[in-house]
């Protein structure tokens, strides 16, 4: 089933950045012709649907340079090049951004954010049975954010109105809606 495979015939690192590298590749297409591919290499990220209870979750308000605007997103963070365990990264980010630990963790999904040009893989977790930590880890020095607790109705209303929503937060809210629906079904 690899009949669409493209063979890489040239690969040039055209930009080495702090959180990403950019490669310009020459590939051989299935029909033998040549084509070019711009690829953004990124070490991946984690995101957390952290439920205080079935109707309250944590969100963070922060500035996003690419959008030149603030966003409200679920807690998330990059996986560093030396890190191999996404769950450990998720635990650290929940500590750093929110100041909480969770006794229960579940992987909801793993997905590529933008498979047409980027290698970034997102690991989306559900964290429940939360505990506030007496000593929170410090944020990165270039990170500024406000922690928000919102109900499902409040974030649904925000997602309907805002022009600055992101894929992982939208997806997390869909999972939250299903969790609530499943609970109602169980009770019925």
Question: Least distance in Å: CB of 112 to a copy of itself?
Answer: 5
C-alpha distance from residue 92 to each of 2, 71, 100, 133 (Å) = 38, 21, 9, 12
Figure out which of the listed residues 61, 106, 136, 137 binds a copy of itself, where binding follows CB under 8 A. Answer: 61
State yes or no: residue 115 binds a copy of itself (CB under 8 A): yes
Dihedral sign computed on CA atoms, order 137, 79, 17, 65 = negative
Q: Which run of H or E residues covers position 123?
A: strand 121-132
Query: Of 87-106, which residues contact a copy of itself (CB under 8 A)?
Result: none
Q: How many CB atoms lie within 10 A of CB 73?
A: 21
Query: What's the Cα-to-Cα distance from 172 to each of 9, 108, 125, 139, rounded to whole Å?
Result: 39, 9, 9, 23
Pick one of 15, 88, 136, 157: the residue that binds a copy of itself (CB under 8 A): 15
Which CB atom, from 137 or from 174, has the smaller least distance to a copy of itself?
174
Using CB under 8 A as the binding rule, whether residue 66 contacts a copy of itself is answered as yes
How many residues bind a copy of itself (CB under 8 A)? The answer is 73
Which of these ranges, 10-18, 84-92, 96-104, 131-139, lies near a copy of itself under the rule CB under 8 A?
Answer: 10-18
């Amino acid at each position: 089933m690899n009949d669409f495979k493209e063979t890489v015939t040239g690969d040039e690192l055209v930009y080495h950045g702090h959180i990403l590298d950019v490669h310009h590749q020459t590939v051989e297409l299935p029909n033998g012709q040549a084509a070019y591919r711009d690829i953004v290499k990124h070490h991946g990220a984690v995101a957390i649907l952290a439920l205080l209870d079935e109707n309250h979750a944590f969100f963070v308000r922060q500035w996003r340079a690419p959008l030149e605007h603030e966003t409200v997103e679920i807690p998330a963070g990059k996986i560093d090049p030396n890190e191999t365990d996404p769950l450990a990264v998720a635990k650290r980010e929940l500590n750093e951004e929110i100041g909480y630990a969770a006794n229960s963790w579940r992987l909801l999904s793993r997905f590529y954010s933008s498979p047409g040009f980027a290698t970034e893989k997102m690991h989306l977790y559900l964290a429940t049975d939360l505990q506030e930590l007496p000593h929170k880890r410090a944020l990165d020095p270039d990170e500024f954010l406000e922690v928000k607790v919102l109900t499902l109705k409040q974030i649904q209303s925000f997602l309907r109105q805002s022009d600055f929503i992101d894929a992982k937060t939208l997806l997390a809210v869909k999972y939250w809606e299903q969790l609530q629906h499943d609970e109602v079904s169980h009770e019925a």
